Each structure stands twice: as C-alpha cells, then as structure tokens.
Amino acid sequence: MGVLREVVEADLPVFYEHQRDPEATAMAAFPSRDRDAFMAHWARTLANDSALTWTIVCDGEVAGNIGCWEADGRMLVGYWIGREFWGRGLATAALAEVAEIVDTRPVQAEVVTTNVASIRVLEKCGFIQVAAHVGDDGIEELVLELR
C-alpha cells in the first residue's frame, strides 16, 4: 500500500505548519515562508500542469508532501516531512513511489550537505551524487540524480 495521495486544499495548512518548524528548516537550510507567501506558492504549484504533487500520508494523517517539476531543463524532486513523522521511512517510501510514477530520467534533487537524513533517503532510492555547488547564499549543496 502506498503513502501518496492527491493534494487537497485541506492539506495546505498542515504543510504550512510543517515548513514553519525551526528544526526542520535548519536541517533543510530552507527558510520558512509566511502564510501568504506559502499559500501563493502552493496556488501556483497546483495550477501548474507540469508540476506533479502528492500528499504523503501515515495512518490517515498528513505527514508531508513530495513533488516533481521542471526547472531550467531539469526534472527536480523535493519533499518535506513533518518532524513528528521523521524516522518512519515515509520519505523513502514516497520517493520510491514517485520514482515508479514519473518515468522521466534523469530526476535530480538538490540537498544541503549537512542534511544527512535526506541524502540517505535519496541514496536508498537509487540516486547518486553527480555534482556539488555553493549557492549564492553560501550554502553547500549536493546534486543527486536518479538515472
């Protein structure tokens, strides 16, 4: 049984709270958005026919989200799991499901070098490191790819 389902509007407030968690934002090195910016981002994402998004569920609860989108000619994947659901294998299960659904290859993910848990999730799903770079913000990231 899978962990993914379609995103519905009622999921967005839960996603918003997940991305506000200071420990999660520090681990991902991705700042939280204020409510208006967050909801505007999701409105654009859900209106974009080329972006694929899913809600990650655990025992009927919204545990996070995952999506694939094209940017600069690359297919990217990203995910966010609420901290109360960490350590349950949900990111790995969700990413494995997405890898089965999305047949475009390669798929890439960018992850901060210190986010060991996310790097491990990507590696478990067959992603390999293909590059590393330092962003304009000075944050070191790895680029992992599923071929």
pTM: 0.95
- Return phi, psi of residue 46, to 5°: -70, -25
- pLDDT for 1 beyond 80: no
- 6 contacts 20 by C-beta, under 8 angstroms: no
Q: What is the pLDDT of residue 135?
A: 86
Residue with tokens 């991305």: 19
90-119 pLDDT, tens per residue?
A: 999 999 999 999 999 999 999 999 999 999
Domains of the chain in sequence order: 4-103 (3.40.630.30)
Per-residue confidence at 145, pLDDT binned at 50, 70, 90? very high
In sequence order, which ranges of the chain are alpha helices (DSSP H)? 12-20, 22-28, 35-47, 90-101, 116-124
CB 125 within 8 A of CB 94: no
